[in-house]
Each structure stands twice: as C-alpha cells, then as structure tokens.
Structure 1
Amino acid sequence: MVIAGLLKDDVRQVVSGFPGLSKLPVLGTLFRSKDYQRLESELVVIVTPYLVRPVARQALARPDDNFNPAGDGAGFFLGRVNRIYGTAEGKLPNGRYHGNPGFIFE
C-alpha cells in the first residue's frame, strides 16, 4: 500500500545579469536573463500490513533490554559504546524469520 501527497509547490522567477550593464535602458536586456524555477516536494509513505497474533506483554522484548551504556573511561580508552548484561544464556527466539527484511529501492 502506498500513500503519497504533494507537500510543497513553489514557482520562482530569477533575474540575473551582468552588474551595471544589465541596468542600461535599451542594451540592458542583452546582459540579463530571466529564469523560472519550480520546486516541488512530495512525501511517499509505503506501508506493508502484516497479520499478527496477540502476545502477552511479558513475552515481548524491547530493543533496549539488557542494554547498559558504557562509561566515559570505557568509551574513550577501550572504544566501547555499550555493554550487554543479564543472563549468559542469551534467550533467542525459537524459529527463523521468513521474508525479506529491510528496504530495497531501485
């Protein structure tokens, strides 16, 4: 499903010319030009609906679960951004993800 809309439509007239000579009464038109610029901005939202089953709140995992930001010393001297804490078993979901993850536009 694709939703799109025109956000902005702007038309401008730009006059450019050679300084001084473009101001002459008759010959000034030889030293200046008029251009029209049209600027358009559009927004496109692409939505892919999925049918899902209801899940208990306790079964959901947040992206920041077991996340602990590194301190200043570890960040500067060891190059660490974060560290993971919690259980060592690393609970992974059962099964595999089927489908094409990500966005590919050509």
Structure 2
Amino acid sequence: MKTSSILITISILVNFSCSSNDSIVNIESFWVDAQRVSCIGLVEQTCYMVQDSATIDENNWQLFYDGILGFDEIYEEGYRYRLSVNKIEIKDPPQDSSSLRYELIEILNKELHE
C-alpha cells in the first residue's frame, strides 16, 4: 500500500513538472476587413487586413500574415468582422514558424461591406 502511494505521488509530480508553461496568452480584439489581399511572407499567400482601433479608420489597415484558428474556416469575403481572440505567444517556436498563434474566442460583430 505504501509503495502504491509513493508511485502515485511520483506520477503526479512528474506530470506537473512536464507540463511547463510554454506560452503566454493575451486576449485581443480587432477588425478584419471584407477582403483578403495578396502578400508575401515566407511564401506568397493571402493575408487578412486588420486594425485594432475601436472604430474603423479606412486608412489604417495592416497586413495580418497569421491565420486565426476557428475563424479561417468560417470567414466570408464581403463582411467585416470584429473579433475577440486569444493571442498566444509561443516560447521556443519551431524554426521558420511564427512565435504567435491566434485562436478565435468570439465574433463580436459581422457586417456586410460593399
């Protein structure tokens, strides 16, 4: 019985020591424009145009090279979105990978833009 208690304790300690905090998470919100544009990161791709202001300034759009997990699959061109996302800073990312990952929390606003 004593041996099994020791093994359980060791197992718990190993699990906690192996689950190091390898990222920092911040919540952000920003606008995503109605059209993606051609851009070049490591390769030619399409990028979202975004801005993090409270209201949209037509002259303030910036290229956004990363994808947004949970949003990329449902994005519809022709609509502007206000998103709430988890911005995850990854410590020690793989080589040639972004040190940031974005995950959709919620679509705060979706409006048709012509």
Do the two structures share a fold, i.e. TM-score over 0.5?
no
Q: Which has the higher contact order (CA 8 A, sep 6+)?
A: 2
TM-score (norm 2): 0.18
Q: Higher Cα Rg: structure 1 or 2?
A: 1
Larger % of strand: which?
2
TM-score (norm 1): 0.19
